[in-house]
Structure 1
């Protein structure tokens, strides 16, 4: 076997031959990115003497091609991801050079987003299995993007070799012979010793089998020989994957797939063939982050990718490249032909445990396609779990009567709505089976373009960077946008803040998944930044954005998370959930975090737990006594609801414990529990009472767990707030009823016309404007129901796709923050922002939002002069009540404290 080298290419119809890399793509030679071809490739090779059969093996060509050797047709192929061979025995002369010419066409891109018309071409992208790469950088790669090899064999040559094994030592071999002859098989164990032989295809029994797993990726070498002298060695593993209710088991042991989403994007090249060294380095780094696998989302990598995953023990989820298809007759024919070839190639590898037929499919693809395709894939890959539609038909308008071995949803949620979304889609009464999240948990970070060396996909020149299929096409305008809104020179600050927010978002989301016993695994979006998204854990240069050891604390076999007591409120004559602020607590509050262990290690055992709570900056808290009768966590002061009834279920805590010692230790303890492998179970409660503090203080709960030879740790921040009472008199205009529990906070509510009172309003009414005209100051809390607010608003997520920037302003007072929005903002995070194109003269922002995709700036809080007074306008949700946010202002401890700071600042100016 030898590699054919020295390739040239040209656009058909021209004589402009130019060198082209193989493997590579024709776009690397300067052919326009949106040109679909055809493009001719040519190379010359020497034909050896003595071979009875000669074949050219193409690793992959995008997308459709015809192969000519010495001017005569040798074969055709359609499909951009799989290898194929053409027999050239009768087309060449032994001992003489031969010329091979490949005429290729790639999927024709679109002109301006997923629903735009296609560019001219024989193969429109949405009528092919082009996958998701066209939507990442706009186009498909074209040409001979994998190596071309000359195979010289006897008459009895080997075609495909399919091998699979089970953990009990059964090994199946099925090889195709291309000529008459006999077949022999020999198997070597991981140490190189021959342990089995056979003649012909069939099943062998391996003595003392050593199963393959991520903990022990043992590989057996299966060598197939023909009587004509041809041979091939395939490395495989013995493993058995089963579903035990919602729990996956590999070789009988619990398995919790923790995967990263890969779209096959490598920014330094225009084709998904990065080379073995790059793949190996990436997979090793992902292991350090706690991942045990990769989802190959809508692309199919080179064969070495699978081999390296097998060797390293990294799990793979293969997804056929079907997304937003137009299922024409050509598409349907190709779907089954290509699926058969791709699945057979993947099924040889023990690392491949999951297969999905497509992603987020709508009703365009029905049971007439997905049913037979599911049956085909199950037959070709019996050792895997298979699903028709990653994301589910019920979520994307597709097939509801599924063909599936597991449940799969793609939840891109704001934290406040995540648990509710899980509850809504939870399997409940359905037959127990694994529930995985085939992609979820993204958070775009800020990309500082000043650090990049102007890659082509940042260009505003459509000749250099045509939009193509991309729906997100903001990068070319980002510099102009950032310069216009004043954030261009603040890129380093925005990157730093957004990196911290991204880790926080992933931590909160993953822990919420892991403390549920009905979840079975997940795929995080995504592996690396792309032209349409900066949600990668690797940036554009390939550098890791997060600390690997810290990330692995909540992304491992063993993860400890938190849960909380439940509360309910009697409202309008009935019970309702009453969430409260679990992250911020007043002095004297009893805090009761429940420690929950997700144990997906190999063996169960005794879990030994150590926990401690320390002030983050050390030192003692205020020593002044707090009167006995500690406050319920999340409540500034217990009180009655609007009906005058004391809320059922409120229990006061005991006397305040002594304050922290000189080192800052608040409390510590130990717990123990027996935990079975594969279980999610409570370890106990790390209860402590908040000491008196003279200023807001951040504390950290640290937990260490030793269980069955494994160790894990995790930590969470809390904020302790002083009880200073409500600052001064306030007037209230609240037709929305968002501030009904102000009295429970101890606020002195006075009439609107009271001199010196700060007005709190939830509607922009004439009394509010009159108060400002008279020289009064006010806070206006804007929500979607606010009619004709003084500043326009726009709906958008708070956490996702945004950097929150806390600007200097005296209204922050001593509200605790480290320059970014940590979980003290969770209870007031809105889904609405102020659409302030230009701040009014004299306006001063408090909290800003920089969109990580568009670079546009919005505000969550801004102070503006209004008539003779000062007005803070904010969309922050001080009354919580969105998703699982605290119910009402008095349960929203952090929000109530911040509102008090704003009142205090405005009151000083009255």
Structure 2
């Protein structure tokens, strides 16, 4: 029975009572977010008149964090722990048929004042000394109060308190097995019945027990639980006192076959989304079953088959829905940046046991981590026994001590772990090398998952959040610290973003910046996930993240709950079957030895022989021969090359299907082509597509003589690209320089043109540089400027920029009167603006300063200018624009931040693929 309301709350002993939602949080009732309590809740408890002689218990779904329960002023019980359900026996404290006052006095974890390392706000339970999880770092604070339902349970003395169920199934047609253990309020006889997914009775047993009773049940002709067939068995317990409890259980077996995970003997590749339990329309992680069901169904459309519950523990219905829908779950105990005091250590094991017992009932739960990115503050004395506890309570899951690994975060190196787990937030050029670094060949093969990775923040157009005149923008946008205190958040830039955008002239460009960044996010994830799937030593991943938050816009859902990606497009590289590309290897003799010599795989000159190796990662349900067809062509034109590839593709493997080989056709201007591959593998089908750019051989046609100043040694192969390399004093020469020397300054001041390539080692550059990622956390905007020539772009940076992407940007360009940006960077988290290329006035000449790496050579970028086809072509366009006097058309000057080619009205929340689409 539900406790009769309404519920009311107040700061303990002070102020007027106010209505508060239960389930809910006291912040929803207007209590300041940075107040840790105590807060008093009250409601009327109405025991039924026919409950005389029965046991009466109050069951709390969850209370944050520590609470004392009183009935008519008498203490009924206490509880510490914000995530787990608990019961309080009120038999003898209430009289059946007579109302009683229920009072719950609650304190929540005391947050911090200004970031993860700041001082805590007043409170008995500092957040870092509790299992508060990550939500305080998402919106600043923990939620407080009675945030899950409260029920009154009426039963006899022999009633079921808790049930633990685990199911196992052997290979083939062996019988399944269900282990059932129940704790009882009092001794008595218990009957258990098991019904199969079709409702047929398959086993029935009876036991008499005192505090506990256990059953081992056999299931003939078992039907295993899996994401493709989430079959469940109904396990019903009945006591001699008339109590009844039904648990829906699954039969499944998870094993590791080297790096390959197997579920019931079949290959399994977990593809999960990272959830922090953030729901923007409320201040607690209890969104309701309908919302969770809708989210899980949509995630399946995107190709995901699971969710990582990162540092939080959801209501019971979340687990039940995952079981029903066949969604895998990774449970992570909410331990992050802890201060392991005596209170913390005691609570850790107490709460962990409760949480793991609750999770272990569910076949969807396959992985458990004990904490996230733990440092040396938590050692073997804690993680060893905790690992043993979890393995004992959840024998059907794989367990790891530290998600992210001690070797990456300064934690325990002698691990307690059934699988490897790293969190790689990488720029694409460094991703493959990072994987190699953390995967030495001598390690014993075992599953290797990425417990979180592959984020990319998109631009947040704050104008979208002006949802109505009544509600206005969300509270977490406010610059008023009384409304939006920083708390534990390290990222606290949203309140200042509007001012920053207006100052930089970008406020009105929000819709277009949002559209561009959404395209870039899909591109980044496509490249990263395909790189993971081409490796046989990877076993699964968790993409960051589920929805946008006050500290990050890396979600697949925005703040208003709208998808930022097209499900069909996203599922192409996030499914059971994924097609990817790989390339021939090359080497170069450098300084007396061999080195890898990557080349530009996305830009090709006319007549080039292109060899794309087609790779299939197969974790589907049927193996066998794979028949692939490919074609490549320009949009709105017939393909200029086609082919067929046939190969065997066993399940659970990564297989090369063959080479899609073609010659780049003749073009009179740079053109974007698309290679599409469709594959059928024993009835399972998938497809994927990739862009290519075909460049004419005259990228330097308008370029005059070129001089070079290169003390950094970045342009040794310039003469193989530029038609005329001449001394600096040659009339009309355009200078390419890697240092801002006195000679370079004289050349520009006297009326010459120059392109200055700066990096972190450049002395006294015209503009300061700052280290920051190119692809992640930023929107790249191609500004109108004649120097772009006919270099192909749609106003945003696609893979034609991969070979020149830098990890440095230019600052303070706007301080120079007459500065003309070419490529800008708008930070998706702070809205700060930097530049990757800008023309600066200098004397009588023209100077383009850039951090773009025309010579590549970072990570797996092309080695040198001559192998960097797209970059070399662009550099030729810039040199051509600086050759001789150049017009400065009025249309290219002004406050406009987005070029005509991409400017337009606001786009819908689901953004289209680039022009022509990935698959056309």
TM range (shorter): over 0.9
Q: TM-score, normalised by structure 1?
A: 0.94
Is the contact made by 2:699 and 2:877 (CA closer than 8 Å) also made in structure 1?
Answer: no
Tell me the alpha carbon deviations over residues 373-421 of structure 1, each in whole angstroms, 9 at most, x when there is no partner: 0000000000000000000000000000000000000000000000000
For residues 728-767 of structure 1, the aligned pairs below 5 Å read 728-767=704-743
Aligned with 1:607 (options 610, 620, 626):
626
Once the two structures are superposed, residues 189-208 of structure 1 have per-residue CA deviations (whole angstroms, 9 ceiling, x without a partner) of: 11111111111322100111
- Counterpart residue number, 1:444: 457
Shift of 1:603: 2.4
RMSD (Å), alpha carbons: 0.9
Match of 1:176 in 2: 183
Pairwise CA distance, 1:498: 0.0
Q: CA separation in 1, counterparts of 2:344 and 2:34?
A: 21
Determine whether 1:585 maps to 2:591.
no
Q: Equivalences for 1:401-412 in 2 at 5 Å?
A: 401-412=414-425
Matched, 1:896 2:903: no
Contact 1:4–1:150 at 8 Å: present in 2 too? no
- Any residues of structure 2 matched to 1:178-327 within 5 Å, and which? 178-200=185-207, 201-327=214-340
Specify which of 757, 781, 793 is matched with residue 817 of structure 1: 793
SS at match of 2:169: coil
Residue 676 of structure 1, aligned match among 636, 639, 650: 650
Partner residue in 2 for 1:626? none
Asked if 1 retains the 8 angstrom alpha-carbon contact of 2:3 and 2:43, the reply is no
More displaced stretch, 166-175 vs 807-816: 166-175
SS of the equivalent of 2:480 reads: coil
In 2, the alpha carbon distance for the partners of 1:202 and 1:153 equals 22
Deviation at 1:908, TM superposition (A): 3.5
> Contact 1:388 / 1:402 at 8 angstroms: preserved in 2?
yes
Q: Secondary structure at the match of 1:482?
A: helix
Q: Offset of 1:313 from its aligned partner? A: 0.2
Q: Give the conservation status (yes or no) of the 8 Å contact 2:3–2:45.
A: no
- Structure 1 unmatched runs, 5+: 619-662
Aligned to 1:204, the other structure's residue is in SS state strand
Q: What residue in structure 1 maps to residue 534 of structure 2? A: 515
CA distance in 2, matches of 1:752, 1:305: 70
Match of 1:34 in 2: 34
Q: Once structures 1 and 2 are overlaid, which stretch shifts more, 785-794 or 263-272?
A: 785-794
Q: Is contact 1:153–1:228 with CA below 8 Å preserved after alignment?
A: yes
Contact 2:607 2:666 in 1 (8 A): yes
* Distance in 2 (alpha carbons) for counterparts of 1:716 and 1:894: 16
| Structure 1, 465-474 or 174-183: larger mean CA deviation | 174-183
8 Å CA contact retained: 2:708, 2:728: yes
For the 8 Å contact 2:740–2:756, the answer to whether it is kept is: yes
For the residues of structure 2 that align with 1:97 and 1:608, how far apart are their CA atoms?
A: 72
Partner of 1:360: 373
Q: Equivalent residues in 2 for 1:436-835 (5 A)?
A: 436-453=449-466, 454-618=473-637, 663=638, 665-724=639-698, 726=700, 727-835=703-811
For the 8 Å contact 1:47–1:93, the answer to whether it is kept is yes
Give the drift of 1:345.
Answer: 0.1
Separation in 2, partners of 1:198, 1:832: 69
SS of 1:108's equivalent?
coil
* Aligned residue number for residue 157 of structure 1: 159
- SS of the residue corresponding to residue 399 of structure 2 reads strand
Per-residue displacement from partner, 1:621-649 (whole Å, max 9, x unpaired)?
xxxxxxxxxxxxxxxxxxxxxxxxxxxxx
Counterpart-to-counterpart distance in 2, 1:889 and 1:747: 14
2:145 & 2:2 partners in 1: Cα distance?
20
Q: Is the 8 A contact 2:804 2:861 kept in 1?
A: yes
Cα distance, 1:13 vs. partner?
2.2
Partner of 1:616: helix, strand, or coil?
A: coil
Matches within 5 A, 1:849-860: 849-860=825-836
Moved over 4 A (4+): none
Pairwise CA distance, 1:44:
0.5
Distance 2:555 2:373 in 1: 20
**1:770-795 C-alpha deviation (Å, 9 max, x unpaired):** 10122111110111111000111111
SS at match of 1:496: helix
Alignment of 1:379-458 (within 5 A): 379-453=392-466, 454-458=473-477
**Number of corresponding residues:** 865
Residue 440 of structure 1: how far off its partner (Å):
0.0
Distance 1:349 1:97 in 2: 38
Cα distance in 1 between the residues matched to 2:751 and 2:13: 78
What is the Cα deviation at residue 692 of structure 1? 1.4
Give the structure 2 partner of residue 628 of structure 1: none
CA shift at 1:616, angstroms?
A: 2.5
- CA-to-partner distance for each residue in 1:717-737, whole Å, 9 max, x for gaps? 000000016322101111111
Normalised by the length of structure 2, the TM-score is 0.93
1:5 matched to which residue of 2?
5
Q: Deviations over 1:806-859 (max 9, x none)?
A: 000000000001111000000000001000252411111000000001100000
The CA deviation at 1:46 is 1.3
Asked if the contact 1:4/1:148 (under 8 Å) is kept, the reply is no
Per-residue deviation at 1:50?
Answer: 3.6
Task: Report what 2:25 is aligned to.
Answer: 25
Classify the secondary structure of the residue corresponding to 2:814. coil
Q: Is the contact between residue 167 and residue 212 of structure 1 (CA under 8 Å) also seen in structure 2?
A: no
Deviation of 1:909 after TM superposition, in Å, equals: 1.7
Cα distance, 1:430 vs structure 2: 1.2
How far residue 277 of structure 1 moved from its aligned partner, in angstroms, is 0.2
User: Per-residue CA shift, 1:443-484, capped at 9, x if unaligned?
Assistant: 000000011031100000000000000000000000000000
In structure 2, the residue corresponding to 1:908 is in which secondary structure?
A: coil
Q: 2:609, 2:369 → 1: CA distance?
A: 48
- Give the 3 Å change call, closer, same or farther, for CA 4–343 of structure 1 in structure 2: farther
Q: 3-state DSSP class of the match of 1:863?
A: strand
Unaligned segments of structure 2, at least 5 residues: 171-175, 208-213, 467-472, 887-920
User: Which has the higher mean CA deviation after the structures are superposed, 745-754 or 338-347?
Assistant: 745-754
Find the residue that maps to 1:538 and give its secondary structure.
coil
Measured after TM superposition, the shift of residue 740 of structure 1 is: 0.9
**3-state SS, counterpart of residue 399 of structure 1:** coil
From 75, 96, 99, the counterpart of 1:97:
99
What is the deviation of 1:690? Answer: 0.6
1:57-82 deviation line (CA, Å, top 9, x unaligned): 00000000000011111000000000
Instruction: From the superposition, tell whether residues 555 and 609 of structure 1 become closer, same or farther in structure 2 (CA, over 3 Å).
Output: same
**Mapped contact 1:444–1:802 kept (Cα < 8 A):** yes
In structure 2, distance between residues paired with 1:323 and 1:45: 38
Deviations 1:260-285 (A, max 9, x none): 00000000000000000000000000
